[in-house]
Structure 1
Amino acid sequence: MPCSYYHLVFTLPEELNGLAISQPVLLYKTLFDVAWATLNQFGKTEQMQLGMIAVLHTWGQNLSLHPHLHCIVPGGGINKQGKWKKKVRTDKYLFSVKAMSKVFRAKFVALLRDSGNGDGALMNTLFSKNWVVYAKRPFGGPKQVIEYLGRYTHKVAISNHRIKEVTEKEVRFGYKDYRKGGEKKEMTLSNVEFIRRFSLHILPKRFVRIRHYGILSSSWKRGKLQDLQKSLKVKRTVFAPETLLRKCRCCKEGNLVTITIFGQRGPPQDFLFVTQPLSAK
């Protein structure tokens, strides 16, 4: 959509790390549900339907368990009349971070209590802490959002370039200490400890770590979003095939001719049943 996009981060306190290890599906699903419920509630106060793309990360720079949700939120939504409302508030922030943190904490603890997980002492501890909802500066537009998602959606706990040395007993890797302004440091762990920490971030089988909500959900993408883009005169990128003739890689004489362009969801059905090979001209 032709608007600014906001980057929010919902972080869980370390007191929930034990539950993340013993019941990861419950904890991470609750994190997704509560983050959207919180954002959706604030959107309703503005009388609009928002959207969100959420990406789950479970690690910190030193491979410790640090569950948090990166959320991309368009700076606009749909009002009750089905029309696009461009701005929520300003270009600097989406909603009050302190207010969102309190609502996020209350909704999460309530769901956790309803699920029967966590004793009274844990509930009191969770309520006594300030939960973190971090709001970064908004993206300039859709292109920056796509670039961000391309870099962050398929990251793992540690990338190869951070690993400095591997021996028979130890692994040395680099990390940033954000408690000291992102200062670059190095850490050395035994092979067993390194594998233990890395294993903390292997998600349960078939668990979906990238989810879409509201006007960015699958149901909206099946027609509603396209209609909305058309009403706002959004120009959709159309792939244009090359017009220059290219030589056949096999015979080096014939020219390759474009017959059809496959869509993003695969070739047309009639192409799946072609029995005769197509000859090059």
Structure 2
Amino acid sequence: MNILQEIFTDHYEEMLYTLHPRDSIIENVDKMILCGDPAFGGAMYGCKHCGNLKFVPFRCHSRFCPTCGNKYSMERTTSMAFKLIHVTHRHCVFTIDENLRPFFLEDRSLLHCLFHAVSSVVLRMFSKLNKSQNFVPGFIMVLHTFGRDLKWNPHIHCLISEGGYSDLGQWRHISHFNYTFLRNSFRTALLNEMQHKLGNSFKKVKAKCYEDHPNGFYVYAKPNSCDSKTVLNYIGRYLGRPVIATSRIDSYDGDSVTFHYNRHEDNKYIVETVPAITFIERLIQHIPEKHFKMIRYGGLYARHREIDKKLYRAISREKHHIYRSFNRWRQAISLSFGYDPLKCPDCGSTMSVLELYYNHKRVSLEEMYEKAMSKARRKRGYG
């Protein structure tokens, strides 16, 4: 049992009766607590060199789980990498007024407004370049609802190609982004979207936002551009990360949790100790509703046209199978807990799977293969 499972197991009933969590929270927390429980089955691995055996239980596949969340983020960042065009990209962060944050916490359907606002602003900025040829960029939007201190802070990270592709198949490089336009347009687009959803009761809040932010909402962008290779490393390391890594949790004494982070404003190292239930509350508020998409694609990355296939990708189609063949589960365990689950403890060789167990029922790989083939034959109508 890892430290996160221990914290939630000890305070599970308190969480239910004091925080009144949503259904999606209960579902993900239950999965995370039971992740790695041998009662749900697993795989038996064996070492060909020394004959050592090891039972590895199945995982829960919840994004909230530190192990499975890492695996999920690896799969998503690999999927993102396949879409990237071989051009430089700009990383922009679209933030909102602090007074708007509670609206998104109370009504999570408003999070769609963030995506819509960013998408419309980016496309509008590029459409102003040449409306007749319709230059369209490729961009990826990732929603983060947390800050480094784990508090509620919804914002959008956006990777935007430095250039657009026209309907005539012409690429136009853009090195200068109009940040004044982005700030003002993002503020207007988001507030209009929210008023459309919330009605006239939102008018006073909207007026206050215009008064407090005459220059628009803050849109941050790193001054250095990212070439395609740097972007591939960047999205895997940052954009797909879970809310908190277990390495950031320093201690847990049964009542309180101590964790650390580098403060965003000045990068100062901060150590914070909070009651366990407060720590749990900060974490579970970031669990999204079921089927909610935290990563969305826009422009060139959202459409599938014949003319777009001519664009040179950062990872060619011939190499896709190489990236997909990596053992994501093995990497996730290594990143989360610092050890290789398939390394033989005796001789250090890589262990291979021998048999699979489902609810303690032994199933050989030959049986699994035969069942899969029978199912495929029935599906194709061969009896």
Scaled by the length of structure 2, the TM-score of the pair is 0.57
Conserved 8 A contact 2:88-2:162: yes
Counterpart AA for 2:212 = K
Cα distance in 2, alignment partners of residues 163 and 56 from structure 1 = 23
Other-structure match for 2:206: 123
Other-structure match for 2:185: 103
Cα distance in 2, alignment partners of residues 51 and 235 from structure 1 = 15
Counterpart AA for 1:158 = I
Choose from 287, 295, 301 the match for 1:202: 287
Cα distance in 1, alignment partners of residues 278 and 219 from structure 2 = 30
Q: CA deviation at 1:271?
A: 12
Question: Any residues of structure 2 matched to 1:144-155 within 5 Å, and which?
Answer: 144-155=230-241
Change (3 A) 1:6 1:64: same
Conserved 8 A contact 1:25-1:207: no
Other-structure match for 1:54: 141
Answering whether residue 246 of structure 2 is matched by residue 160 of structure 1, we say yes
Other-structure match for 1:258: none
Counterpart AA for 2:108 = P
Higher relative contact order (CA 8 A, sep 6+): 2
Choose from 315, 318, 324 the match for 1:238: 318
Other-structure match for 1:12: 96
Cα distance in 2, alignment partners of residues 56 and 209 from structure 1 = 5
Counterpart AA for 1:7 = H
SS for the counterpart of 1:58 is: strand
Cα distance in 2, alignment partners of residues 128 and 193 from structure 1 = 34
Conserved 8 A contact 1:177-1:185: yes
Conserved 8 A contact 1:17-1:65: yes
Answering whether residue 272 of structure 2 is matched by residue 190 of structure 1, we say no
Conserved 8 A contact 1:5-1:138: no
Other-structure match for 2:54: none
SS for the counterpart of 1:9 is: strand
Cα distance in 1, alignment partners of residues 108 and 97 from structure 2 = 15
Choose from 61, 69, 79 the match for 2:166: 79
Other-structure match for 2:34: none
Cα distance in 2, alignment partners of residues 145 and 72 from structure 1 = 9
Cα distance in 2, alignment partners of residues 33 and 139 from structure 1 = 25
Q: CA deviation at 1:138?
A: 4.2
Q: Which consecutive residues of structure 1, in runs of 5 or more, have no partner in the other structure? A: 242-248, 251-269, 276-281
CA deviations over 1:102-150 (Å, ceiling 9, x no partner)? 1100111111112234533211222123311111134442221111111
Q: How many residues align?
A: 238
Q: CA deviation at 1:224?
A: 3.6
Q: CA deviation at 1:37?
A: 0.4
Choose from 224, 227, 230 the match for 1:141: 227
Q: CA deviation at 1:66?
A: 0.8
Q: CA deviation at 1:274?
A: 8.0
Other-structure match for 1:169: 255
Question: Structure 1 residues 110-119 or 140-149, which shifts more?
Answer: 110-119
Cα distance in 2, alignment partners of residues 29 and 101 from structure 1 = 19
Q: Which consecutive residues of structure 2, in runs of 5 or more, have no partner in the other structure? A: 1-84, 323-351, 354-372, 379-383
Scaled by the length of structure 1, the TM-score of the pair is 0.76
SS for the counterpart of 1:229 is: coil
Other-structure match for 2:125: 42
Change (3 A) 1:161 1:226: same
SS for the counterpart of 2:142 is: strand
